[in-house]
Homo-oligomer: A and B are copies of this chain.
Amino acid sequence: MGDSSDSRERRDGRPLGEFDLIDRFFGRAARAGRTEGGAVALGIGDDCALLTPSAGHQWLVTADMLVEGRHFLSTVSPRRLGHKALAVNLSDLAACGATPRAFFLSLALPRVDEAFLAGFAQGLFELADAQGIVLAGGDTTAGPLNLNITAMGEVPAGQALLRSGARVDDDVWVSGTLGDARLALEVFRGTLSLSATQFEEVRLRMEMPEPRVALGKALRGLATSAVDVSDGLAGDIGHVLKRSNVGATLRLADLPRSAVLGAMPEELQRLCLLTGGDDYELVFTAPPDARQRVLEAGRAAGTPVYRIGRIDEAPGLRVVDGMGRPVQDVPQSFDHFKS
């Protein structure tokens, strides 16, 4: 950025600095986006962003911090990274049934890298626009690469989907397919090889997760609990079971998987399905008499949903095979300070 041939260099000869940087790549946010219902009255450019809540609604807020080598690889394209940084937050909002409204981006960058920022902003805003969420503020600083997004959404008061509502005999459902992102990670790790086509398919799942926002909204008043699968199915459903004071039995054969994953050895499939992480599908519970409506909600949201098990009284998670026999050694979930 110190390159004096840069046509955007400030007229006073100083290199582009923090304020120019914000303005240049993220300044469009200043044009105070107005989203359906809730409104961002004032975006970037003041000490705070000013948000006007919709009458009769509650806010849902989530934060995710992404670090290179842990949440994304250095090989990811900036555009996909911009998508993913927002997608993982939207996935949390989706798990609560929220309508996305506004987000705040904090970026630490080792240096001002225009190509990186341009790509990152492109991926970020493409997803933001598609989901009707507005960049309303944030922070930029020099430092080891770090991306933090805090995202906010709204639900009509009392209608948020929580982890604590699962009841005995509820069905357990999951959206989409599980495990592809983990498969891609194993290829990057060199423990596995796939054809170029297969790799591109699962890599897309890892790098461009699709947050299930429409499904989350369609499940309001229908699902008794929900969680998004970020650390792996076994671990994430574990939070629901603990908070709801129940247990669950999942049928391994019913866990939805892509054709690519379905062609892998059984043990690898099990690992990817149960502990894969980075799936960003929704796992949720609903009473058996709501089955038809759940399927309709999935259709309305354009997201396939599958019944994969049942909530029972005995605490803990059980997984059974096609013969109803318990699967031993259900792997644990991914933990950022353990792996």
Residues of B within 8 A of A243 (CB): 45-46
- Which of A45, A95, A107 lies at the interface centre, i.e. has the most chain B CB atoms within 10 A of its CB? A45
Contacts of A15 in B (CB 8 A): 337-338
Most buried by B among A64, A96, A108, A243: A108
A8 to B137, CA, bound (A): 39
Q: A166 at the A/B interface (Cβ < 8 Å)?
A: no
Measured between C-beta atoms, what is the minimum distance from A279 to chain B in Å? 14
Contact yes or no, A150 B53, CB < 8 A: no
Complex copy number for this chain? 2
Q: How many residues of A contact B (CB 8 A)?
A: 73
A335 adjacent to B41 (CB under 8 Å): no
Q: How far is the CB of A150 from chain B (nearest CB, A)?
A: 4
- Pull 19 A–B residue pairs with CB atoms less than 8 Å apart, ordered by A: A17-B335, A21-B337, A42-B160, A45-B239, A48-B61, A48-B62, A48-B92, A48-B96, A50-B59, A51-B59, A59-B59, A63-B139, A64-B139, A65-B143, A104-B150, A106-B148, A106-B150, A140-B336, A143-B146
Shortest 6 CB-CB distances between A and B: which pairs? Answer: A67-B143, A144-B144, A48-B60, A150-B150, A65-B106, A17-B335
